[in-house]
């Protein structure tokens, strides 16, 4: 990576274990001013990456959580007709009913555009929305401007935000969408990497707990009758739970006695299935 004077470089954050490859991709995307599309299993740290970028570059983070029925305009701005209707009826607010602009609220993308400093814009789980939303949104991000129809005004980005987009889908996104992003797929961390990640969160964790917990965790991930496999987040919470328990002995885990399954498996069906699986394994 060459140091181009004014270009800020991302090198990791305090609570995030970054691999070199991903760091390079983030930096290239930032200097090319292209959105970075991250795919990968839940729990591989896609969302965390955006937090880490924001932290290390000291930029504010704006998160747009995409919902399935979301319209693009909601992400840009909102014209609050109901409040205006209410104000016009009761007239007891400080807003000026005749000024539509008073009733325009910026959505997440809008906020990133009008922010006074460069921001990190995280668009989380883009795959939830339909294709039209995705394509239209990239148009906006490409041009770095959008119109507010109600007041006939164009909002232009003051600073081009660093855009990180995440997707859980196994299905590919549309071609025009992909064409405008850089792409990276984050693989689920291997046990070695996981150890690093855990030690970032628990700097003084006992080695025995660490090894046993991680080994058990990967074994539990192999159960294939569960819908949602436990991910990094669950592992960290689980270790926290194990630490809190004064009666817990790391040896228990190797014998197939696994406490706090509910921290790892959060769907009742999964919980039951995993429990059955473990008790069956114990018999052998």
Question: Where does this chain bind other proteins (CB under 8 A)?
Answer: 1-2, 4, 21, 24-25, 27-29, 31-32, 34, 36-37, 39, 81-82, 85-86, 89, 168-172, 175, 178-179, 181-185, 224-225, 227-228, 267, 269
Q: How far is the CB of 10 from other proteins (least distance, A)?
A: 13
Evaluate whether 9 touches 1 at the Cβ level (below 8 Å).
Answer: yes
Q: How far is the CB of 273 from other proteins (least distance, A)?
A: 8
Q: How far is the CB of 33 from other proteins (least distance, A)?
A: 10
For 283, phi then psi, to 5°, come to -65, -30
Residue spans of alpha helices (H) in the chain: 20-32, 46-57, 72-76, 81-90, 108-114, 131-143, 175-179, 191-201, 207-221, 232-244, 251-254, 261-264, 268-283
Q: How far is the CB of 66 from other proteins (least distance, A)?
A: 14
Helix, strand, or coil (residue 269): helix
For 154, phi then psi, to 5°, come to -105, 130
Closer to other proteins by CB, 4 or 98: give it. Answer: 4
Closer to other proteins by CB, 204 or 222: give it. Answer: 222
Closer to other proteins by CB, 41 or 55: give it. Answer: 41
Which residue reads 């239209």 in tokens?
136
> String of b and e for 115-137 (b: at least 16 CB within 10 Å)?
beebbbbbbbbbbbbeeebbbbb
Q: How far is the CB of 80 from other proteins (least distance, A)?
A: 11
Closer to other proteins by CB, 56 or 182: give it. Answer: 182
Phi-psi region of 120 (alpha: psi -120 to 50; beta: other; left: phi over 0): beta
Q: How far is the CB of 65 from other proteins (least distance, A)?
A: 16
Closer to other proteins by CB, 25 or 205: give it. Answer: 25
Closer to other proteins by CB, 87 or 238: give it. Answer: 87
Closer to other proteins by CB, 9 or 136: give it. Answer: 9
Measured CA to CA, the distance from residue 24 to residue 30 in angstroms comes to 10
Q: How far is the CB of 1 from other proteins (least distance, A)?
A: 7
Q: How far are the Cα atoms of 55, 98, 182 from residue 94, in angstroms, in the given order? A: 37, 12, 46
Q: Using alpha carbons, select from 263, 200, 270 the residue that is nearest to residue 45.
A: 200
SS3 percent helix, strand, coil of the chain, rounded to 5, is: 50, 15, 35
Closer to other proteins by CB, 125 or 213: give it. Answer: 125
Helix, strand, or coil (residue 19): coil
């Amino acid at each position: 990576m060459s140091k181009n004077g004014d270009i800020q470089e991302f090198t990791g954050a305090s609570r995030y274990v970054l691999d070199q490859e991903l760091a390079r991709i983030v930096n290239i995307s930032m200097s090319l001013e292209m959105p970075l599309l991250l795919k990968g299993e839940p729990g591989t740290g896609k969302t965390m990456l955006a937090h880490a970028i924001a932290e290390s570059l000291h930029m504010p983070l704006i998160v747009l959580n995409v919902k399935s029925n979301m319209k693009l305009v909601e992400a840009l701005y909102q014209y609050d007709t109901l409040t205006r209707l209410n104000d016009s009826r009761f007239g007891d607010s400080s807003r000026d009913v005749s000024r539509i602009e008073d009733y325009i609220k910026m959505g997440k993308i809008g906020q990133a555009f009008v922010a006074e400093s460069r921001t990190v814009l995280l668009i989380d789980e883009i795959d939830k929305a339909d294709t039209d939303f995705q394509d239209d949104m990239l148009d906006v991000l490409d041009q770095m401007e959008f119109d507010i129809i109600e007041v006939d005004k164009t909002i232009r980005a003051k600073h081009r935000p660093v855009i990180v987009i995440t997707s859980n889908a196994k299905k590919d996104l549309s071609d025009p969408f992909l064409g405008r992003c850089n792409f990276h797929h984050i693989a689920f961390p291997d046990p070695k990497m996981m150890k690093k990640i855990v030690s970032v969160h628990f700097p003084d964790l006992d080695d025995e707990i660490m090894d046993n917990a991680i080994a058990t965790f990967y074994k539990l991930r192999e159960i294939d009758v569960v819908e949602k496999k436990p991910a990094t987040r669950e592992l960290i919470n689980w270790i926290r739970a194990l630490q809190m328990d004064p009666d817990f002995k790391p040896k228990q885990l190797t014998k197939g006695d696994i406490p706090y399954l509910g921290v790892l498996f959060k769907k009742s069906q999964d919980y039951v299935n995993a429990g059955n699986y473990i008790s069956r394994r114990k018999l052998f």
